[in-house]
A and B are shown apart, each in its own frame.
Chain A
Amino acid sequence: MTATMTRPVLRAGAPRWGRVLPVLLVVAAVVGYLVFRTDAAADSEDAAAFRFFTQVRDWVDANRDTSPVFLYGVNYVRLGVRLLVDAVRSGLSGLGFAGLVAAVTALAAVLAGWRTALVALGGFLAFGFLGLWTESVDTLVLTVSAVLLAVLIGVPIGVLAARVGWVGAALRPVLDVMQIMPTFAYLAPMTLLFLIGEPAAVIATLIYAVPATIRITELGIREVPVTTVEAATALGSTGRQLLTKVRLPLARPTIVLAVNQTIMMALSMVVITALINAPGLGQNIVQALERVNVGAAFDAGLAIVVMAVVLDRITAGAARRRAGRWGRGRWAAAAAALVAVVVVALLPIGEDLPRVSFAAPVNDLTGWIELHWYDATEWLKNAVSAGLLDPLETVLTTTPWWLFVLVVAAFGALVGGWRTAGIAGLAAAGIAGLGLWQHAMQTLATVLVTIVLTMAIGVLLGIWSARHDWFAAGLRPVLDAAQTMPSFVYLLPAVALFGASRFTAVVAGFVYAFPPVVRLVDRGLRDVPATVVEAATAAGSTSWQLLWKVQLPMARGGLLLAANQGIVMVLAMVVLGGLVGAGALGYDVVAGFSQREDFGKGLAAGFAIVLLGILLDRLTQGFHHAKGPR
């Protein structure tokens, strides 16, 4: 009885403290900053962490061909992956142009129906028309290899994580870190262990994509209804029978969805691995970036989007169709398709199709914009840089590191409790320990500005899209394209318009991160139950009152999720901005694998980025969990 009596008292007290505490915290932070502000002393060129990583590199270099770790471990992994890539390549290129086009079309027809087959046919022919056949096949080879490995490794781990409590619990933080690690940050460690080339590229891609495989598989297995499992148990199924006859078949559509997501992620990573000598379309994009040739990048980017769409449609179609429903007809169709593929593969058709290229018009357009919009773009760049980036950067870089750690921990405690405080505080302290404080704070400033702009514009667009179906319909293909383009591609138009600057990274980050924000906001608003909207309208709300007082507050969960997703994506992109003059941590990473003496610093910067990611993710996640709708 006493317990229930005290509850209301606590409840009444909570909101008041909840309101005052953040204000107090902000005031304390400002006062702390004003009192303890320091000079923004440049980072040391020779921090202990850099030296340590350089020593590690030197050790690996010296022992690559003698240490058992490499002779019997790492080098075998590399060799095995090389073998897989070669096998996949002989399989795919062995079919020849006509054969591969036919095979993909047939696969689409059998797995996902004839509409998808048409998309696949058109898509793969397009590679030929764009004159990018060889490159596309190379990209496909690497993607398929990485996805095969991801499925082979990820599905069993996912099942294990769903079935064995401690495995799932132990994996969760590891997967979290893997998912917020910007792609770029693991290239250097990859080359250290696996050298450059296809195996390293496939392994880097695997690391990027496998968390999705594991997570979605785990979800699929967990979602299998307990009642079904119970019924099968009651009939005397063994554990193995439950797995093979009940859980896996029931989770099959979700597992196919996992494969679908894995493919999408792998494709975007494979492009980036061009930096460590992976062949394929990524090479074209890197080259275009080096020549600031937007048109060339457009063709290659288009090929990647087309490949993404084809692979997505095929796997999504396969996920929709139920297994075990293969009537005689389907088997016959499959057999016929196989015969057709073999016949077509034997036809002497080459990939030398008439060339179609968008490079020239796109370059003309870019040139025109550069010429005529120069003043506007310069003004925009300078305004955002001087008005937002510089002040924020100054504040962050002149904050003593310990004060920053304290403030982060305090906010962590406020939004997510002690755990969040601990993790976020430790991450902040770790960044300081790596000796890259200034660069980390500069990167953070760019990230924060980008996320604010992304959220502001994304939320506006999301509201519009939720309220006007025509707008949503028009926006959808833009969002689709923006989400399938590999992040890399966005740098180009941005750099063409804004030159080498942080603002370029801001723009690229915005373009990369706004689609999910718009989507989540739109979904959040549309998910507000019609009955609630009806009731508020009946009470006489204007449509703005409806939005501000009902829809937005109720869509909070979606908004916070959008912020969280957006932050992780923005961070990844801002770091890539190091390639085009955004400096700071991103530049350190690039320099790290392109200048031998900067290796240690580059690797340290990679870790700093990961820590920054963890920090931002925990703070927004904590917020999400603490105050989101339950």
Chain B
Amino acid sequence: MTSTITVEHLWKVFGPKPERVVGTELAALPRAELRARTGCLAAVKDVSFAVEAGEVFVVMGLSGSGKSTLVRCLTRLIEPTSGEIGIDGEPVREMNPRRLRELRRHRVAMVFQHFGLLPHRSVLDNVAYGLEIQGVGRAERHRRAGEMLALVGLDGHEQQYPEQLSGGMQQRVGLARALAIDPAVLLFDEPFSALDPLIRRDMQAEVRRLHAEVGKTLLFITHDLAEALTLGDRIAVLRDGELVQVGTPEDLVGDPADDYVADFVRDVPRSDVLTLKWIMRDPAPGETVEDQPLPAATVIRDAIPRVLGAKLPIPVVDGDRRVGVVDADQLLPALIGHHRQVPV
């Protein structure tokens, strides 16, 4: 089965005559030098990845690293310079305008950092907008929009106007609007960056709940590592337009591909993210261990009471197979040492 989203060797170069960059020696230049030489800016540089159905895929990077450009290339809100994009196996770059509109109307919806609501329409009509432009009748689209508002917890606000709502509520409208067309894929471009931290946490919870309820494929952009770790099944790290690493949260924290990623994850409490798999050691020959094993996927923090309370090392199992042992000696560096290379 094909992945829901596939991206292969995607390039987006801004500036004069962008075609000349890809596939020449210019392509290898760092951003700043390319800019000095040609006036072009490579916002997305040879990016490839695949997102599976039902997955929450997070793209993370500093501001200016090309995240927004990347996600806009997926439905060609920004026209890519080169590379392949597939949605459900269908090549997006070969779509004609009509087909592309079909894609945007029915299959992929997007939620924006600055909401992008229409100030002259009521909340209900904002949510119904996508259906309206598809030609769905008034009664039907209002019914569906009402359902979506209920789903995001905004029932009762139908007749209000965006400016009368708080930022968090406005973004719920944005979410409802995206959900209203019942897309298979939802794209989020830093949807919660403009919100207060407390509200942001609520909204993250909301997204998790919705994902559990409606089961869509989510591609989520953020510059906030905590958000990426909370939401992501897998995380891709972008730097100056290039993909540096793709992996699970543990992969990133436990095994950063380079200093850039390591810097990113430096302040993450490792015991909260890493599992025993990352700190267990091989048992010494003939070593005696506890009876009750711990699964390798146990997060370190959850294992602390048992490990500290045990007199003997605890065996770590992956299913039925014993893969290693863990005791207080392994635990402590993971708890205190943020900078030390964690032994694999």
Contact = CB atoms under 8 A, between A and B. Distances in A.
A38 interface: no
A-B interface, 5 closest residue pairs, ranked by CB to CB distance from nearest: A231-B116, A236-B105, A236-B104, A235-B130, A234-B110
Interface string B89-122: 0000000000001111110011011111111111
B116 A236 contact: no
B120 A235 contact: no
Given A3-B36, A241-B133, A245-B133, A234 B120 contact: no
Contact of B129 (A245, A250, A252, A322): A245
Contacts of B116: 225, 227-232
B120 A322 contact: yes
Given A250-B119, A323-B120, A232 B129 contact: yes
A231 B112 contact: yes
Nearest to B119: A250
A231 B109 CA distance: 9
Given A230-B112, A234-B104, 4 more contacts: A234-B110, A235-B130, A245-B132, A325-B161
Given A249-B120, A250-B118, A235 B177 contact: yes
Interface string B11-38: 0000000000000000000000000100
B101 A236 contact: yes
Which of B101, B103, B122, B174 has the most chain A CB atoms closer than 10 A to its own CB? B101
A239 to B, nearest CB: 9
A232 B77 contact: no
Contacts, number: 76
Which of A233, A250, A325 has the most chain B CB atoms closer than 10 A to its own CB? A233
A469 to B, nearest CB: 31
A424 B177 CA distance: 54
Nearest to B132: A245
Interface in A1-21: 3
B118 A249 contact: yes
Interface string B315-334: 00000000000000000000
B134 interface: yes
A477 B72 CA distance: 52
Contacts of A241: 133
Contacts of B161: 322, 325
B176 interface: no
Contacts of B75: 234
Given A230-B77, A231-B112, A241-B133, A236 B102 contact: yes
A233 B129 CA distance: 11
Interface string A243-284: 001100110100000000000000000000000000000000
A351 B120 CA distance: 42
Contacts of B119: 250, 322
B120 A236 contact: no
Contacts of B5: none
Contact of A235 (B36, B104, B113, B114): B104
A237 interface: yes
A194 B102 CA distance: 52
B237 interface: no
Contact of A234 (B109, B118, B132): B109
B177 to A, nearest CB: 7
A238 interface: yes
Which of B75, B116, B133, B177 has the most chain A CB atoms closer than 10 A to its own CB? B116
A340 to B, nearest CB: 29
Contacts of A245: 118, 129, 132-133
Nearest to A3: B36
A323 B118 CA distance: 12
B181 interface: yes
Interface in B120-162: 120-122, 129-130, 132-134, 161
Contacts of A329: none
Contacts of A474: none
B118 A232 contact: yes
A227 B171 CA distance: 13
Contact of A236 (B115, B118, B134): B134
10 contacts: A225-B114, A227-B115, A231-B112, A231-B177, A234-B77, A234-B110, A235-B177, A236-B106, A245-B118, A322-B161
B104 A233 contact: yes
Contacts of B133: 232, 235-238, 241, 245
A613 to B, nearest CB: 37
A322 B102 CA distance: 32
B111 to A, nearest CB: 9
Contacts of A322: 119-120, 161
A322 B120 CA distance: 7
